[in-house]
Each structure stands twice: as structure tokens, then as C-alpha cells.
A and B are shown apart, each in its own frame.
Chain A
Amino acid sequence: MLRLILACMLLAAPAVAKPISYVGGTMVMMENDETGNTLNIDYTFDPRFAAGLYAKKERGGEEYATIGPQLNALIYRWNLPDGQANIFNYTGGGASRIRGTTYATGWTGFLADYETRRIFTSYEAKFMAVDDIEVSTWQRARVGVAPYLANYDDLNTWAMFQVDYHPNKDRDITLTPLLRFFYKTTLAEIGVSTDKDVMFNLVQQF
């Protein structure tokens, strides 16, 4: 029974923004979607590394929450004349509280992205294990286009399309068109999935 609950609920959330900012910078990411509510707080202490905290409360009828520290690493970055591409890894471990019982939890994920001022693409895969009970995988791909070329001091707007693949869900593919806005240190995303779930994400850099 527990395996069934986990299979339905173990839908670990990915990163909305790049998990590493600038040395000395703190980034707070809040994600709210069909799978639950996620909070990431990351502190970048090196151009290639950030340490932080990951917490998620799963949505659904059963009590299920996960919390633990996470290390983000920039594996490689291509700074190009008209674009940037990155490969990141994030790995964490902690505890999951499920129906009153606490289990050891571990997760790792890879994020690859490429963007110019006009187009955005990303792919992410995440793996999560709760004790020896269940292993879950999750994948996400995004494409986006900027309808106008905004400069540094302008409000930036992106139209994006997101595909999530959760093999453990009944409907394993979720499509979400969304809009991304950012101005200076604040980024917000809003979308509605094909399952009619509202997604709202907020990222703030300090």
C-alpha cells in the first residue's frame, strides 16, 4: 500500500531557475504546481557551487513532506558571444515524513540548458529514493521564445512550453504552457497544465 502511495505522490520538483547564481548571492525559489509546494534556498559560495535547503510538501490526500540540504554544482558552462549553455547537477539527502513515519531520502538531478536573448531550451532529469521503499524518476523539457528583445533594465517576457514526464503517474505526461516574467532580481512564472492545474513559481535573488 505504501509503495502505491509513493508511486502516486513521489513527484519531486525540479529547479525553476539556474541553481547557481553569483558568488555571495542567495536565491529563493518557490514552486507551486500540481505535485505540491516546493521551497529551495541556495547560497552560491563559489562560481561552480551552491549549497542550500530543499523542502517540499506534496499535494494530495496523504501527508507527505521532504526536507534536506542540497549541493548544486555547475559541471560545465559555455559562455558564447550570443548565448549561454550550462550543465548542472544537484544532489541532496534528508528525511521524508509519510503518514507519520520518517524515512531517509536522497535525490539527484541533472539540468542542461541553452539560451540566447530570443530562445530558451532546457532538459532536466531527477531521481529520488525514499529509504529502500521506492525509487522515482522524473523528466522535464522546456522550450521558450521571447516575443521582444528586452534589455537589462526592461521587463523581460517569455512564452514557454513545458513537458513533464512522470512514469509513476496515471497520466504520465503533463503539458504546461506558461509565461515567464522577470525584472532585475525577481522572476515569476504562471501557467495552466493540460490537467487544468495552475502553476505559479517565484524566484528572488538577494
Chain B
Amino acid sequence: MWNVIAVFVLLAGLSVPTIGFAETIHATVNGLVCGFCATGIEKTFKEEASVENVAVDLESKLVTVELKKGQQMDDATFSKLVTNAGYNVVSIKRDKNP
């Protein structure tokens, strides 16, 4: 019986970080001055299966990408997608939301 409980607790613990949290990536991007051109960022990220939502803010030069729960995207992949849209990433910060 204790073995069953231990396995259950272990599995539940492992599943929390991958299923229970959605990650949000905040990136400061250089060159972000034209809204028409910046639509490429939104279109590029929205084609990724792991992406839930994308927001672009020209005022703060921020690109915010909300990932789907349990999904991940490393910095290299994120930067590559921004480069494909024509821009350069300056810095990346991450939040995990329940």
C-alpha cells in the first residue's frame, strides 16, 4: 500500500512542472519601431505549436510570448525565430504562471 502511495506522490510531483505551469517569455528586441514590419514577429511565433499567445509593444520594445501549458522554448530557438522575423534579441526573461 505504501509503495502505491509513494509512486502516486512521485508521479504527481513530476507532473506539476510540466503540466501545471505555462511559461511566459519577455524579450527586449532592437529595431522594433515599425508596426507593419513587426507583424512578422506575431506571424512567426503563432506558427509554433508551443505558442499560446504573442504580444508586441513598440513603446517598451518588448515581445511577450506565452507558451502553452507544459511547453518549452529555449533561448536559442526564441532568438532564431526573432531573427527570422528581422530583429535582434537583446535580453530574455521568463515567468512561470500556474
Chain A interface residues (CB < 8 Å from chain B): 17-18, 20-25, 47, 77-84, 115-117, 149-154, 156, 182-185, 187, 203, 205
- The CA of A160 and the CA of B42, in the complex, are separated in Å by 27
Q: Does B14 contact A (CB under 8 A)?
A: no
Report which residue of A79, A115, A184, A205 has the largest number of chain B beta carbons within 10 angstroms of its beta carbon.
Answer: A79
Interface majority SS on B: helix, strand, loop or mixed? mixed
- The CA of A20 and the CA of B37, in the complex, are separated in Å by 9
Interface majority SS on A: helix, strand, loop or mixed? loop
- The CA of A182 and the CA of B38, in the complex, are separated in Å by 12
| A22 x B33 contact (CB < 8 A) | no
| A79 x B88 contact (CB < 8 A) | yes
- Report chain A residues within 8 Å CB of B61: 81
Residue of B nearest to A155 (CB): B35
Q: Does B31 contact A (CB under 8 A)?
A: yes
Can you list 6 residue pairs at the A/B interface with Cβ under 8 Å?
A: A78-B31, A79-B86, A115-B34, A117-B33, A152-B56, A203-B36
| A152 x B57 contact (CB < 8 A) | yes
- Report chain B residues within 8 Å CB of A115: 33-34
